[in-house]
Structure 1
Amino acid sequence: MQHWQQMSQAELDAAYANADYIPDAGSFPVRWAAEAAIFRATANAMFDIPYDAAERARLDLFHPVNPARGLVVFVHGGYWRRFGKSDWSHFAKGALAADHAVAIVGYPLAPLVRIADITRHVAQAVDCAAAHVDGPIRLTGHSAGGHLVARMLMPDASPVCAGRIATCVPISPVADLRPLVPQSLNADWRLDEAEALSESPVLGHKRSQARVAIHVGGDERPSFLWQARALSDAWRAPLRVDRRKHHFDVIDDLLDPASDLMADILA
């Protein structure tokens, strides 16, 4: 029996409630949105590129000063039910400084769509962005976004351009969705056992050619450390634990082209 199967709904809710355990957690989304807006004001970018007719099915594509050596695709978190692409624009800085174009992907949110629907939308978004930029594709995403980029390596969800995907770096991913089924937030996700199984990267196979590394903060909730370790074990991928970071600041190294996180993305 898995450890989460012995937990009550209240215990599972608490185990995945990151903001409740991060000091001044509410300031992070406010700061992200403000810094993203400042960055967008001067960025060389194409905004709101549609990849599907659905609401929020848009991406922003940021171009480096020099010719692009490839494409980095970032998929945001928010438990598949919060935030939008415009909250994260500034996290393109590290890849842009390394001469990569960056696509920041928006997607429809639960409860209007199910998680499997979001997976299909992200695959469309990756193909859309790939049509604009030549060269290798490098995927990264945070939390729920970490789940979504990992799903792009699985045969049933792969975008058409999958052969170009060189690296995939899930950051604090939710890689096993089975512990989410009993949670109160499942009123929005509407996960059943079948979808939890099919949407869990830890229970599936990845495409062999893409290099994978998993990053997680050492000060995260034990459930997220377990999730990251489970994906690392299942896919035999390196696990990088940054002892200084929690669930909200673990993505800060996306800003630094010389960081260990960016080294894995650009490997």
Structure 2
Amino acid sequence: MTERAEIDEAYANASHIPGGMAYPDRWAEAAAAFRASHPAQEIAYGGGARQRLDLFRPEGEAKGTVVFVHGGFWKAFDKSTWSHLAAGALAQGWAVAIPSYTLAPEARIAAMTREIEAAIGAVAGVVPGPLRLAGHSAGGHLVARMACADLAPGWRDRVARIVPISPLSDLRPLMAASMNDDLRLDAAEAEAESPVLLEQVDLPMTVWVGAAERPAFLDQARWLAERRGCGLVEAPGRHHFDVIEALTEADSPLTKALLT
């Protein structure tokens, strides 16, 4: 097996999860049903076609805002697929923002980092109070980047907790993957965009990963937790596609970790 094939296999998820190919349709259906009963306010945070976020507001005054950044290896999905993941925090009285961002190959990962920084800034300007950041897979990478010292957003002193879920924290292995045909990572960008290689800012963080995930994702989560010196939760029985489902539940351990 070639190096590329080995890396592709290491980071493959759908083929190692029973019914894995059906998950995107299930997510989209659940998200659409949630939006039907919980209409969102769409906010532009830039001039790009995908520089938009959906803001879900609770009844009454929000305690603050949860920002959830979706995954998809930086090259798939948008905000419309994940609306239902707002349910848990919304039920606890938090506003929830879910941004889209420009994907590869149109954008490089460094540009996506800056888009998420801008998206959070837009949310911070609309809803007062603390910010809590969560992201899954590539989105876990992007929220982990918000705690790196090379960024200096004006809203960072409002961040109460960051929860990267199944994050990609060291991008260097991905330079050998087939997905890099779209990502276009080179050594300089892989190092500059890898949270485990960067100076850290002291913000509360909990790294979350499914205990049944691929070894590569368990490694990536452990590397980030070790770099941060923070808590690591390996959720029993959860794989890469169902580890995020707990965000739909107001009292799940994942929702509690994010909101406390």
* Cα drift, residue 205 of structure 1: 2.4
Partner of 1:3: none
Q: Deviation per CA, 1:71-95, whole angstroms, max 9, x where unpaired? A: 0000000000000000000100000
- Following TM superposition, the consecutive aligned residue runs of length 4 or more in structure 1 with deviations greater than 4 angstroms are none
CA contact (8 A) 2:150 2:199 kept: no
Residue identity over aligned pairs, in percent, reads 51
Residue 53 in structure 1 maps to residue 22 in structure 2: no
How far, CA to CA, are the matches of 1:244 and 1:163 in structure 2? Answer: 35
| Correspondence list, 1:137-176, <5 A | 137-176=131-170
Give the secondary-structure state (helix, strand or coil) at the position aligned to 1:93.
helix
Partner of 2:111: 117
- Equivalent in 232, 236, 239 of residue 243 of structure 1: 236
| Correspondence list, 1:198-213, <5 A | 198-208=192-202, 210-213=203-206
How far, CA to CA, are the matches of 1:158 and 1:139 in structure 2? Answer: 16
Residue 100 in structure 1 maps to residue 100 in structure 2: no
- Equivalent in 16, 19, 24 of residue 11 of structure 2: 16
Gaps of 5+ in 1: 1-6
Give the secondary-structure state (helix, strand or coil) at the position aligned to 2:139.
helix
Partner of 1:220: 213
How far, CA to CA, are the matches of 2:107 and 2:245 in structure 1? Answer: 29
CA contact (8 A) 2:71 2:140 kept: yes
| Correspondence list, 1:170-189, <5 A | 170-189=164-183
Give the secondary-structure state (helix, strand or coil) at the position aligned to 1:211.
coil
| Matched residues, number | 259
1:143 maps to amino acid: S
CA contact (8 A) 1:37 1:89 kept: yes
1:131 maps to amino acid: G
Give the secondary-structure state (helix, strand or coil) at the position aligned to 1:55.
coil
CA contact (8 A) 1:176 1:202 kept: yes
How far, CA to CA, are the matches of 2:175 and 2:66 in structure 1? Answer: 31
Give the secondary-structure state (helix, strand or coil) at the position aligned to 2:67.
strand
How far, CA to CA, are the matches of 1:25 and 1:160 in structure 2? Answer: 40
* Cα drift, residue 44 of structure 1: 4.2
Give the secondary-structure state (helix, strand or coil) at the position aligned to 1:125.
helix
CA contact (8 A) 1:126 1:159 kept: no
Give the secondary-structure state (helix, strand or coil) at the position aligned to 1:120.
helix
CA contact (8 A) 1:205 1:235 kept: no
Q: Deviation per CA, 1:38-80, whole angstroms, max 9, x where unpaired? A: 1111214202x11111121100000001310010000000000
How far, CA to CA, are the matches of 1:29 and 1:206 in structure 2? Answer: 34
How far, CA to CA, are the matches of 1:158 and 1:74 in structure 2? Answer: 20
How far, CA to CA, are the matches of 2:37 and 2:4 in structure 1? Answer: 46
- Equivalent in 65, 80, 88 of residue 71 of structure 1: 65
Q: Deviation per CA, 1:207-241, whole angstroms, max 9, x where unpaired? A: 21x21000000110000000000001010011000
Partner of 1:25: 20
Give the secondary-structure state (helix, strand or coil) at the position aligned to 2:25.
helix
1:229 maps to amino acid: R
- Equivalent in 219, 234, 249 of residue 256 of structure 1: 249
How far, CA to CA, are the matches of 1:123 and 1:156 in structure 2? Answer: 12
**What's the TM-score, normalizing by structure 2?**
0.97
1:146 maps to amino acid: G
CA contact (8 A) 1:44 1:64 kept: no
Q: Deviation per CA, 1:136-168, whole angstroms, max 9, x where unpaired? A: 100000000000000011122343211101100
